[in-house]
Structure formats: C-alpha cells, structure tokens
Amino acid sequence: MSAVVHLSGPGRPVPDLTELLARVARGDQDAFSRLYDVVAGPVLGLVRRVLRDPAQSEEVAQEVLLEVWRTAARYRAERGEVMPWVLTIAHRRAVDRVRSAQAAADRDQRVAAASHTPVFDEVAEQVEGRLEREQVRRCMRTLTELQRESLTLAYYRGYTYPQVAEVVGAPLGTVKTRVRDGLIRLRDCLGVGA
C-alpha cells in the first residue's frame, strides 16, 4: 500500500506548477509565493546534499528561487516538467558554488606556498657556520707564515696595510702582495669563483 505525498502540505492538493510558473513569468507575486511553497523544500534539500554547509545551502537556495522568479519566462513545458527544471537550476548553482570555493581554496594555497618563508633553523645555521669556519682555518694553514700573518692582521684584527707593514717589519708593497697572494690561495682552497 502506497501513501499519498503532498508537496504543499497535508490535505492540500498539489498545484499545477506549469500554470503557476506561467503566472510567475507574468509577474504574479501570489503565484510565486505558492510556487515557492512547493519547490523551496526540494531545492534546499538538493543544494544541501551538494554543499553540506547549512548556511551556504540556504544562500544558494535563495539565489535559485530568485533565478526562478527572474527566468520563469524561459521555461518551456514541451521540454519537461517544472520541478526538474527548478532542480536543474539548483544543482547547477550548487555545483558552481563548490567549484568557486575550490578555486578560491586552490588560489589561497598557491599564494601561501609562493609566499612561504622557511622557518629559521638555528641549529642548522650554527652547524653550517662552524663548518665554514673550520674550512677557512684549514685553508689558512695552507698559506705561508707571512701570508697568514698579514691576512690575520688585516682581516681579523682590522689593521690597515701600513699598520700591517709596520708590525711585520716589511715594506708596504710587500705586505700588499702577500695579502693579495694569500687571498688568491684562500679563494682557490675554498672553491670560490673569481
């Protein structure tokens, strides 16, 4: 035994949706109110199954019903019944909302990935600094005693070339040559391009 389902409430007959939609197309607000009562529930249900978000579902259902009001004159009875026509509009709107939300999420993710700055790793930075200092010390040991002393005074102690010349007891030109040759050897040892 099958039960009778009344879309417009118990005990009330289902109105002729084609006739109601034709009246809506002519701007009949009362006809739209009656059409709304019949289709709003199924529209909201369909939209909610697609979106799963109650607030967005209500918003999209409202947009669908507004579109039905605006586009009622486009409905063609020979192409199908009113309810499937309305539910097709609802489904398209809901899918468009899902696609729009996904596109926005993808765009936000791309922007976040592009602007991502790696977290500063203090331990890795310290290890790298120690390795570099050790490599410089190793390369400094490959220099002659005069080159090492001149470079140490000039670059680590901040002496000027004339002050280095005075400390090591060598002419200024000799000190400059030692420093230049020492820097070249260090560059080669460290593997730094010219």
Chain length of the chain: 194
170-193 per-position pLDDT tens digit: 899 998 998 899 888 888 888 876
Burial class (CB in 10 A: 0-12, 13-18, 19+), 50: middle
Whether residue 3 is predicted with pLDDT greater than 50 in this model: the reply is no
Whether residue 2 is predicted with pLDDT greater than 50 in this model: the reply is no
Task: Provide the pLDDT for residue 47.
Answer: 95
Mean pLDDT, range 38-47, rounded to an integer: 95
62-83 per-position pLDDT tens digit: 999 999 999 999 999 899 999 9
How many CB atoms are closer than 10 A to CB 24? 26
Burial class (CB in 10 A: 0-12, 13-18, 19+), 38: buried
Looking at residue 69, its amino acid is W
Closest CA to 154 of 167, 138, 135: 167
Task: Provide the pLDDT for residue 133.
Answer: 86
123-171 per-position pLDDT tens digit: 778 888 888 888 888 988 888 888 888 888 888 888 899 998 999 898 9
83-122 per-position pLDDT tens digit: 999 999 999 999 999 999 899 888 988 888 777 766 667 7
Task: Provide the pLDDT for residue 137.
Answer: 87
Residue 8: pLDDT band with limits 50, 70, 90: very low
